[in-house]
Amino acid sequence: MSRLVELGEAREGEARAVRPSRRPLLRVGSAVLAVVLFGLILANALTQDRYRVEWLIFASNVAVAATTIVAGQVGWAMRPESRVGPLLVVAGLLHLGWKLEFTDWSLTFTLGLLLDRNFMAVLGHALLTFPTGRTASRAERALIVGLYAVGILGSSLIALFEDPTGICDGCPRNLALITDAPSLVDALLLTARFATVILGVPIVLFMMRKWRRGSAAARRALAPVVTMVAVIFLFTLLEHAGQLWFPSVVDATPWFWLNQVVIVLVPLGFLAGLLRTRMGRSAVGELVVELGRGAQPPGGLREALARRLGDPSLQIAYFRPERGDYVDERGHPMNLRAVGSGRAVTLLESAGEPIAALVHDEFLRHDPEIVEAVAAAARLAISNERLRAEVRAQLEEVRASRARIVEAGDAGRRRVERNLHDGAQQRLVTLSLAVGMLRERLDHDGDPEIVAQLDTISEEVRQAIEELRELGRGIHPAILAEEGLSAGVESLAERSPVPASIEGPPIDRLPEPVEVAAYFVVAEALTNVAKYSHAKHVTVRLSRRGRLLEVDVVDDGVGGAEPTGGSGLRGLEDRVAAIGGELRLESRAGAGTRVHAEIPCDGR
């Protein structure tokens, strides 16, 4: 199983694992509270006529609060890992609480006064921390504290110094009133407005930064929220302009309704953004299909994952068990504990052993299911890739050892040939010379029987030397080491019983294993031509094609040769394959025989 862990910089807020809050009681409780508040306000509004003239305002206000609460509840239920849902619920409740101003009882009325526009601060909080609902830095936390301070300053504090009975006929008593101080209230309001503007600038900057740095997935989620903020900003601008130049338009009822619609956009924007933090199942399905198509080109897996997760900056860190660290695709070490802000790490494990890690946009943590699914797909792909790499390595090892065995064999043959030449052959040569000398001395006055005997010895020795020479050639031709393949093949052609001609220009020297393999292919092919083909002529061709050496031995004989028919070609096939080459036999009955070998010249 993969674990979702966070190994980012150990800043508070980032270092916490995302654990979906499973508090249905709290959620249900908040819903009950909302219903109670709503009922209270509605019952009061229906039974008293203090606000009858403002019925429209009352209705729309309550509608905005209700929308916010419902949006928050939906978000909370569907994205329990985010705190934005609960924040929206709190904002809606505060909004509804503010509407307690509509009630007749002094206590609830006072509560409404105290709550006033505090919900704005909560909305600011949600906006700033969207979509996690958690602060990511000290600066963000400071801004949020500021927002709440301004909220309390501009609303709750005012309630302590404002006596509503002065301005509102029939209003209940303000229980929180300390003293009626209209000038202090004005000063507080002005300060609050001023502070709101001051705080607005960094909030906008934070949002812009979040957008700029965000991956495709992040922007997908942020888009509705940013759109919502932009629309509200534009609307506010229009309203201010309208009040200056077209007050009749702005004061008309349609504009008021438009205003309400725009306000309702706030919770809906949050909800839409929250719901878009997830990619949908199809992305995973497509990824699995894509990875299932087989081996990925280098970096292909990373690209496939990045595409499916909508995060172009995604990195794969491969675990190196021998070192216990992580490296990227190019083998550069990666420090998963310092992946940078806004990045999160998902570890991939197999049977309790780490195999890799995905470093991705923090945003994707809002979509643990898709990260989990993608991680599972990636784990499969990486495991496969590792297995393939292992098999490749083993195959490479076998190939290398096979080539080494052939090379060792060649070295052994070279040694045997050398020993024959330096030992027995030299002794026989010396013996032959000595016998020749004796024979010459006895030539004129010697016993004819002894002379005849010496002649026999001389001939025997000569034949022994010749046989040793042939043996030596068969074991390891000296000319190959001395003069290279072209000269070696030339000497083979010269000794061939069936007339042989060589086509093509001589080729340059090649690594020894290549020359030896090619030489023996030609030697064996010429031997077969002489033994079985009944050919009148045979052509040998050596040529270079790129990094390949091509060897062709073509005769005009009877054909019909079988590669398995004890021709010695099977052994040659193995020898050629051992250095990465290929040997083919074409021999249709009546159409001659062609032996074709292709040998890579890097002479592995």
Partner 1 sequence: MARTVLVVDDHAGFRAQARILLAAAGFDVVGEAQDATGALTAARTLRPHVVLLDIQLPDGNGFDVARALLDDGDPPAVILVSSREESDYGAQVTRSGARGFISKADLSAQGLAALLQGDR
Footprint of partner 1 on this chain (CB under 8 A)? Answer: 421-422, 425-430, 432-434, 436-437, 440, 461-462, 465, 469, 472-473, 477-479, 482-483, 487-488, 490-491, 494
- Alpha carbons 94 and 34: distance in angstroms, whole number: 10
- Alpha carbons 369 and 284: distance in angstroms, whole number: 10
Residue positions counted in the chain: 604
Element (H, E) at 270: helix 253-275
Q: How far apart are CB 589 and partner 1 at their closest, in Å? A: 36
Residue number, 297 or 505, with CB nearest to partner 1: 505
Residue number, 33 or 478, with CB nearest to partner 1: 478
Q: How far apart are CB 500 and partner 1 at their closest, in Å? A: 14
Classified as helix, coil or strand, 219 is helix
Contact 279, 218 (CB under 8 A): no
Contact 150, 199 (CB under 8 A): yes
3-class SS string, 404-432: HHHHHHHHHHHHHHHHHHHHHHHHHHHHH
Q: Which residues, listed in sequence order, are joined to residue 583 by a DSSP beta bridge?
A: 597
Residue among 475, 557, 546, 545 nearest 516 (CA): 475
Work out whether the CA dihedral 368, 371, 376, 379 comes out positive or negative: negative
Residue number, 240 or 441, with CB nearest to partner 1: 441
Residue number, 16 or 415, with CB nearest to partner 1: 415
- Alpha carbons 527 and 521: distance in angstroms, whole number: 10
Residue number, 421 or 570, with CB nearest to partner 1: 421
Residue number, 232 or 438, with CB nearest to partner 1: 438
Q: How far apart are CB 550 and partner 1 at their closest, in Å? A: 22
- Alpha carbons 203 and 170: distance in angstroms, whole number: 41
Say which residues have a Cβ less than 8 Å from residue 127's Cβ, sequence separation at least 6: 203, 207, 225, 229, 270
Say which residues have a Cβ less than 8 Å from residue 344's Cβ, sequence separation at least 6: 6, 8, 359, 360, 361, 362, 364, 365
Q: How far apart are CB 533 and partner 1 at their closest, in Å? A: 24
Residue number, 124 or 472, with CB nearest to partner 1: 472
- Alpha carbons 18 and 6: distance in angstroms, whole number: 8
Residue number, 113 or 480, with CB nearest to partner 1: 480
Residue number, 458 or 533, with CB nearest to partner 1: 458
Classified as helix, coil or strand, 315 is strand
Q: How far apart are CB 544 and partner 1 at their closest, in Å? A: 20
